A and B are shown apart, each in its own frame.
Chain A
Amino acid sequence: MEILTEVRKVNVVDAPEGHRGEGFFATRFDRVIGLARKNSIWPLPFATSCCGIEFMAVMGSHYDFARFGSERVSFSPRQADLLMVMGTIAKKMGPILKQVYEQMAEPRWVIAVGACASSGGIFDTYSVLQGIDQIIPTDVYVPGCPPRPEQIIDGLMKIQELVHNEPMRRRNSPEYKALLKSYGIVTIDNGK
């Protein structure tokens, strides 16, 4: 009697380095947590102008964003991991962006999509903030006006690398607290 078996190729994420044995697998906490976090980032699309329309194209079915785990975009900062600032931020909008960033819970990352969010873009005027890093700490900058969807996905993959490799104690380190304090961002740790 022949038993026919089918070999199916399934895409799985690579396991982290660790020690494997009969029925157990030992590795470091931050490797596993980094792996889980990087494949389920929930973004907050803070879309203000033209780059927001390119983000809509990225969320569409052609350049599917959901395959990176970002199926559920959250508009509430309390439930989001990644703040995607897309579009020009004017000085009138600055305090609102800062308030949204402060409402996010740790761990949180910020990606500046587009030339206007990175550095003011083509609008070197009296009313435009020349880059969001004047008011909030930023992790990844994606240049372009507007950047192609492939570039935005590249930016997200760099965030994924950052998330994957982040050590557990980073958010409690004095350098990070000093960074937030230099921006005037109030958290539980650095107090009022």
Chain B
Amino acid sequence: MITNETILTKLQAQFGERVHSPELQYHILSITTDQEHILPVMTFLKEDAELNFIFLTDLCGVHYPHRDQKFEVVYHLHSFTNNIRFRVKLPISGDHPKAPTMTTLWSSANWMERETYDFYGIIFEGHPNLKRILNVDEMTIFPMRKEYPLEDNTRKDKNDEMFGRDPKLIRTDI
């Protein structure tokens, strides 16, 4: 049975400085890495005989508009044999973010990456079928980004004054 320290030691022995900022939050250890090394790191985590992270629990995106690296892809891994969870974060900079795909390692990443593309516009290079999955195909914006509102502002039947909103400040093109 390995512990969080074992995972960190093995990763740092293999990758050194490219795997940084370890954080332990509510019993799950997370590390941050960058674009060139994310695929080798994940391959190492999956195929190492002792770590054995064969299960990709979750893949999601986050938008931090006030940071330098505006987008982040967060991967949650789970090792059944060691009963331990792990989190890997990949920050991405720029307004047209890109990341490598994980579909070669885990087939479950296929739709999860499509959902992240649909919501945030992160392009996963090497994905077999990267198109929108939950929203309508003709949508041009990426709705989960922080600058887009929750409601549909093209409605004519809502009286904005009743909701305490100034109609001049509301975008009506989306």
Contacts and interface: CB of A to CB of B under 8 A. Distances in A.
A–B touching in complex (CB under 8 Å): yes
Interface of A: 91-92, 124-127, 130
A157 B159 CA distance: 34
B150 A124 contact: yes
A187 B150 CA distance: 37
Contacts of B151: 124-126
B136 A126 contact: no
Interface in B102-147: 134-136, 143
Interface of B: 134-136, 143, 148-152, 155, 157, 174
Nearest to B151: A124
Contact of A127 (B135, B149, B155): B135
- Residue of A124, A126, A127, A130 with most chain B CB atoms under a 10 A cut-off: A126
Contact of A125 (B136, B152, B157): B152
A92 B150 contact: no
Contacts of B136: 91-92, 127
A92 B133 CA distance: 11
5 contacts: A92-B135, A125-B150, A125-B152, A126-B150, A127-B136
A130 B148 CA distance: 19
A126 B149 CA distance: 8
Contacts of B134: 127
Contacts of A92: 135-136
A130 B149 CA distance: 16
A130 B152 CA distance: 10
| Top 7 A-B residue pairs of the complex, sorted by shortest distance between their CB atoms | A126-B152, A92-B136, A124-B151, A125-B150, A126-B143, A91-B136, A127-B135
A125 B151 CA distance: 4
Nearest to B152: A126
A126 B136 CA distance: 11
B132 to A, nearest CB: 10
B146 to A, nearest CB: 14
A124 B150 CA distance: 8
A127 B150 CA distance: 9
Contacts of B149: 126
Contacts of B150: 124-126
A92 B136 CA distance: 6
Contacts of A130: 152, 155, 157
A90 to B, nearest CB: 8
A124 B136 CA distance: 17
A33 to B, nearest CB: 37
Nearest to B143: A126
A130 B143 CA distance: 18
A91 B135 CA distance: 9
